[in-house]
């Protein structure tokens, strides 16, 4: 049976597959809807996820609001913040993280502050008889001392208090998660993407920290709706101007608050202290899954803790050559070894993504209808390999040394690129996006190599990288044209500096990595992108005597004014609520990393000719439905180099990964959204590999004793059971035929409005002819699937499509 014949079967099966269209879908039971009171009684606010929270983004949506006045906000908007407080009585306004974005005055002079006193021309207003009237809150107990301003203090969960200013040592503009101006559209609806923070990110709130009773500290999401009336009862026609000025923490404004309780997972307590541990290390794309599985794995009857350390793919593969390899997770297998052959098992399907946080900013030619979208997040973006090559090679003027003549005539940013505008005409109605490069992770990864291979597989992009101009005359930054490709990282090769005047009034070198810094990893790239933070360092820090000691990171872009692209993995993008671009595959189709796109991407892969259980990705597949940067993650170990006890534990991990670990959800033990459930054929191989690892663990390699592969069957699971110690005999062979079908997916109520649709044993390897199991599974499963649709795909969440 040839690989070409297998591909033909896959192609036929896919032609009969029906992919569900986008549609509304109920959440997974953690969403909460709360109504406003008084003048805001018609307002209903829904928080998409309120339990099992970690540091992530949740969707906050609402109906029944009055349309926000003017593109500069002014009237009728929501102010959203996270607070700690008593679980029974709720939060006090002193317990809320708010006020760090005080320089953002789009909604009014003090609307982004904790200040509750207002001097100058705003101290008095005219009443209906033209008589001066104090502009103060009659319900506000905090009064300013003579010659000073009054602030609502911030009381930290740690006991510290900041009595003046806007956060002090507990939060600032670079760390806060507050949203000062949530806009309501003309139809009364609105949506924001709120980053909930644990005690790690917001120590002043302490959310998720373990309490004395062993539970996690709860917190609250507080929404303060703002209308058209000020704290003294005056409206626009009775004030000096037609906008609000007072803080949401003013007593009168605070009385209108909408409170939603938030339940967090306990920080740093996935498993009991002192429990036996089995070490695992692996590629970053596996991190979200392992962190979600750990609490359930250690709660099983085996009570084993599977410690996990995130490392590069290269470091993980190197570990397989050591005396104690443990278990590693990689996107691509290691080089073969005749003395210590490896066994691999597929454990997760994900992919590399170009995540975006771009909010509508009306251009000068925008219509009135366009302006109603002001500040709304955009979820639709199409990118070609050549466009991404331009971003990664510092070829736009804003990302390069413009003294280079080749670059000087290039577009300033991607939004000025005719290629980009032709693909994304909606963006032409906006102000130019300040996107001249893309936020990328530091260091080596197989997924970086995959991205470059995808770029090189496109003739237009490959020609651009080697110096040929695009049809509009844009050329690659010459620093990159002579480099060898592909690479396993994202080089910033145009290392240039420009003089920039600092706060000491002297000019200092401002260099490439100040202007275009790396994120530490894909997780940080996604989180910072979600915050609108490009990591640019553009201000100076001084020592005690005032000497400049270096550039420091600037503040993130203001909510509603964000424009950031980032390279990350699909699961992390989903965790932080980021839409993901549609990428052009080899057929010319633009495909997003939906579950459908990822599973179709798996079906384009072919069985490795040398490594059992491992699939080789294809960058030139004729499957129009396939997401081009799909990856299958593999668990790998060397059975002869681990103990029998370790082999049994790692086998349990794999059996769980193939069963309950493939049930999507937000609860501990489930599969995080952003991963596609493993097709049945791959689950079966994982179960087989688990048995082989358990049987061969601790035994010397005996090349002559190559076992035959048992019949392929079983291996699927439903629900999220805790794993137990099992033996090979305990794994039933049901005789069922596995297929590439993805099981139905339970929806979630968090995240992004865009759906989430990586060697070689030798003769005598303990897995022997297992390499043919995948071929048999693919063929038989797909033939069986011809009787009906082979994909049971999750319908789109209320905020997503095609997932």
352: which residues sit within 8 A by CB, 6+ positions away?
A: 285, 447, 450, 451, 567, 568, 569, 570, 629, 631
Nearest C-alpha neighbor of 180 from the set 248, 233, 127, 238: 248
User: What is the rounded distance in angstroms from the CA atom of residue 517 to the CA atom of residue 667?
Assistant: 35
Nearest C-alpha neighbor of 210 from the set 261, 160, 264, 273: 264
User: What is the rounded distance in angstroms from the CA atom of residue 355 to the CA atom of residue 438?
Assistant: 10
Half-sphere exposure of 453 (CA within 13 A, CB side): 17
Mean pLDDT by 10 residues, the chain (803 residues): 37 33 43 96 97 96 91 86 95 96 86 84 52 73 87 95 84 93 92 96 96 94 95 75 89 97 88 77 96 87 82 96 94 90 97 96 79 85 98 94 87 95 89 92 96 97 96 96 93 90 78 93 97 86 60 85 96 97 98 97 93 93 97 97 96 96 94 96 96 95 52 33 38 37 42 34 33 38 35 34 38
pTM for this model (two decimals): 0.83
- Three-state DSSP at 425 gives helix
What are the backbone dihedrals phi and psi of residue 597, each rounded to the nearest 5 degrees, phi first?
-65, -40
Question: Is residue 46 within 8 Å of 24, Cβ to Cβ?
Answer: no
**Looking at residue 256, what is its pLDDT?**
97
Please give the C-alpha separations between residue 200 and each of 55, 170, 197, in angstroms, as whole numbers: 9, 12, 8
**Looking at residue 489, what is its pLDDT?**
97
* Secondary structure of 50-97 in HEC code, one letter for each residue: CCCECCEEEEEEEECCCCCECCCCCECEEEEEEECCECCCECCHHHEE
Tokens of 150: 């009054």
Tokens of 423: 């693909």
146: which residues sit within 8 A by CB, 6+ positions away?
A: none
User: What is the rounded distance in angstroms from the CA atom of residue 34 to the CA atom of residue 61?
Assistant: 11
In the block, residue with structure tokens 């071929």: 775
User: What is the rounded distance in angstroms from the CA atom of residue 672 to the CA atom of residue 483?
Assistant: 38
- What residues form DSSP beta bridges with 540? 551
- Calculate the dihedral angle through the C-alpha atoms of 497, 502, 508, 514, rounding to the nearest 10 degrees: -40
- What residues form DSSP beta bridges with 675? 673
Neighbour tally for 272: CB within 10 Å? 10
Tokens of 169: 């040592």
- Three-state DSSP at 184 gives coil
Half-sphere exposure of 406 (CA within 13 A, CB side): 17
Tokens of 764: 């005598």
544: which residues sit within 8 A by CB, 6+ positions away?
A: none
Tokens of 448: 């970086």
In the block, residue with structure tokens 């991407």: 601
* Secondary structure of 526-575 in HEC code, one letter for each residue: HHHHHCCCCCCEEEEEECCCCCEEEEEECCCCCCCCCEEEEEEEHHHHHH
Tokens of 193: 């993407």
Please give the C-alpha separations between residue 4 and each of 11, 553, 600, 604, 779, in angstroms, as whole numbers: 11, 52, 17, 11, 12
Buried b or exposed e, range 324-362, using 16+ CB within 10 angstroms: ebbbbbbbbbbeebeebbbbbbbbbbbbbbbbbbbbbbb
In the block, residue with structure tokens 């000691």: 549
* Assigned CATH topology for domain 1-24+270-352+592-803: D-Maltodextrin-Binding Protein; domain 2 (3.40.190)
Nearest C-alpha neighbor of 385 from the set 311, 438, 461: 461
**Looking at residue 366, what is its pLDDT?**
77
DSSP 91-114: --GGGEE--TTTT--TT-SSTTSS
User: What is the rounded distance in angstroms from the CA atom of residue 427 to the CA atom of residue 370?
Assistant: 11
User: What is the rounded distance in angstroms from the CA atom of residue 398 to the CA atom of residue 533?
Assistant: 17
Report the alpha-carbon angle 19-25-28, nearest 5. Answer: 115
Q: What is the largest CA-CA distance in the chain?
A: 103
**Looking at residue 540, what is its pLDDT?**
67
Report the alpha-carbon angle 11-760-707, nearest 5. Answer: 90
41: which residues sit within 8 A by CB, 6+ positions away?
A: 35
User: What is the rounded distance in angstroms from the CA atom of residue 214 to the CA atom of residue 319?
Assistant: 37
Nearest C-alpha neighbor of 612 from the set 680, 688, 716, 676: 688
Please give the C-alpha separations between residue 424 and each of 416, 434, 799, in angstroms, as whole numbers: 11, 16, 21
Question: Is residue 557 within 8 Å of 587, Cβ to Cβ?
Answer: no
Element (H, E) at 508: strand 507-511
What are the backbone dihedrals phi and psi of residue 647, each rounded to the nearest 5 degrees, phi first?
-60, -40
Nearest C-alpha neighbor of 686 from the set 633, 726, 724: 633
The beta strand positions in 333-415, using DSSP E, are: 343-359, 377-378, 382-383
**Looking at residue 748, what is its pLDDT?**
41
Chain centre distance of CA 407: 32
In the block, residue with structure tokens 């054929």: 681
Question: Is residue 796 within 8 Å of 803, Cβ to Cβ?
Answer: yes
The two counts, helices (H) then strands (E), for the chain are 18, 29
Give helix 446-456 / helix 385-392 axis angle, nearest 10°: 120
Domain ranges across the chain? 1-24+270-352+592-803, 53-264, 354-575
User: What is the rounded distance in angstroms from the CA atom of residue 673 to the CA atom of residue 76?
Assistant: 34
């Amino acid at each position: 049976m040839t690989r070409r014949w297998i591909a033909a079967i896959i192609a036929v099966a896919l032609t009969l597959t029906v992919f569900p269209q986008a549609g509304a879908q109920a959440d997974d039971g953690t969403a909460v809807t709360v109504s406003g009171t008084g003048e805001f009684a018609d307002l209903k606010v829904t928080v998409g996820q309120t339990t099992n929270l970690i540091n992530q983004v949740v969707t906050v949506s609402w109906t029944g609001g009055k349309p926000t006045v003017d593109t500069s906000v002014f009237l009728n908007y929501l102010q959203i913040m996270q607070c700690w407080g008593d679980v029974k009585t709720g939060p006090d306004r002193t317990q809320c993280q708010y006020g760090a974005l005080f320089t953002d005055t789009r909604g009014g002079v003090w609307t982004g502050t904790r200040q509750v006193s207002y001097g100058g021309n705003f101290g008095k207003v005219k009443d209906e008889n033209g008589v001066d009237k104090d502009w103060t809150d009659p319900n506000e107990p905090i009064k300013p001392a003579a010659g000073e301003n009054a602030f609502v203090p911030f009381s930290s969960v740690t006991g510290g208090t900041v009595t003046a200013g806007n956060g002090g040592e507990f939060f600032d503009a670079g760390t806060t998660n507050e949203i000062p101006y949530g806009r309501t559209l003309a139809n009364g609806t609105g949506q924001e993407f709120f980053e909930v923070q644990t005690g790690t990110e917001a120590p002043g709130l302490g959310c998720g920290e373990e309490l004395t009773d062993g539970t996690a500290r709860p917190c609250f999401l507080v929404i303060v709706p703002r209308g058209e009336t000020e704290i003294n009862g005056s409206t626009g026609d009775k004030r000096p101007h037609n906008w609000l000025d007072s803080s949401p923490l003013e007593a009168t404004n605070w009385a209108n608050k909408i409170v939603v309780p938030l339940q967090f997972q306990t920080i740093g307590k996935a498993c009991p202290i002192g429990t036996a541990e089995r070490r695992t290390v692996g590629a970053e794309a596996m991190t979200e899954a392992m962190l979600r599985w750990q609490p359930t794995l250690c709660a099983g009857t085996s009570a084993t803790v599977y410690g996990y350390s995130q490392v590069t793919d290269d470091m993980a593969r190197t570990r397989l050559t050591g005396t104690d390899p443990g278990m590693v997770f990689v996107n691509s297998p290691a080089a073969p070894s005749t003395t210590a052959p490896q066994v691999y098992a597929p454990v997760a399907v994900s992919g590399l993504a170009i995540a975006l946080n771009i909010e509508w900013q009306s251009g000068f030619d925008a219509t009135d209808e366009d302006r109603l979208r002001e500040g709304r997040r955009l979820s639709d973006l199409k990118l070609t390999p050549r466009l991404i090559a331009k971003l990664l090679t510092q070829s736009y003027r804003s990302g390069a040394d413009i003294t280079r003549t080749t670059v000087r005539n290039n577009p300033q940013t991607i939004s000025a690129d005719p290629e980009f505008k032709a693909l994304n005409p909606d963006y032409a109605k906006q102000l130019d996006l300040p996107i001249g490069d893309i936020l990328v992770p530091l260091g080596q990864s197989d997924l970086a190599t995959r991205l470059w291979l995808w770029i090189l597989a496109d003739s237009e992009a490959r020609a651009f990288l080697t110096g040929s101009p695009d049809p509009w005359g844009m050329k690659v930054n010459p620093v990159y044209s002579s480099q060898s490709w592909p690479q396993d990282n994202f080089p910033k090769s145009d290392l240039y500096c420009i003089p920039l005047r600092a706060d000491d009034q002297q000019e200092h070198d401002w260099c490439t990595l100040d202007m275009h810094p790396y994120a530490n990893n894909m997780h940080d790239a996604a989180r910072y992108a979600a915050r609108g933070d490009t990591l640019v360092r553009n201000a100076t820090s001084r020592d005690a005597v005032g000497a400049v000691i270096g550039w420091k990171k600037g503040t993130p872009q203001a909510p509603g004014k964000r424009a950031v692209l980032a390279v990350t993995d699909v699961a992390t993008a989903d965790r932080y609520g980021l839409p993901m671009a549609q990428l052009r595959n080899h057929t010319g189709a633009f495909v997003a990393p939906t579950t459908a796109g990822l599973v179709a991407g798996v079906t384009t892969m072919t069985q490795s000719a040398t490594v059992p259980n491992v699939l080789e990705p294809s960058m030139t597949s004729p499957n129009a439905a396939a997401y081009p940067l799909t990856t299958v993650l593999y668990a790998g170990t060397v059975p002869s180099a681990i103990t029998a006890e370790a082999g049994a534990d790692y086998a349990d991990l794999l059996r769980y990964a193939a069963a309950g670990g493939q049930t999507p959800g937000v609860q501990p033990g489930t599969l995080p959204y952003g991963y596609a459930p493993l097709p049945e054929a791959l689950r079966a191989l994982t179960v087989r590999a688990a048995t082989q690892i358990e049987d061969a663990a601790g035994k010397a390699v005996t090349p002559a004793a190559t076992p035959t592969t048992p019949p392929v069957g079983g291996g699927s699971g439903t629900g999220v059971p805790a794993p137990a110690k099992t033996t090979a005999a305990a794994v039933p062979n049901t005789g069922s035929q596995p297929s590439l079908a993805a099981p139905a997916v339970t929806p979630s109520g968090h995240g992004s409005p865009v759906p989430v649709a990586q060697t070689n044993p030798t003769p005598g390897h303990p897995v022997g002819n297992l390499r043919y199991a995948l071929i048999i599974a693919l063929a038989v499963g797909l033939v069986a699937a011809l009787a009906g649709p082979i994909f049971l795909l999750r319908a789109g969440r209320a905020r997503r499509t095609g997932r």
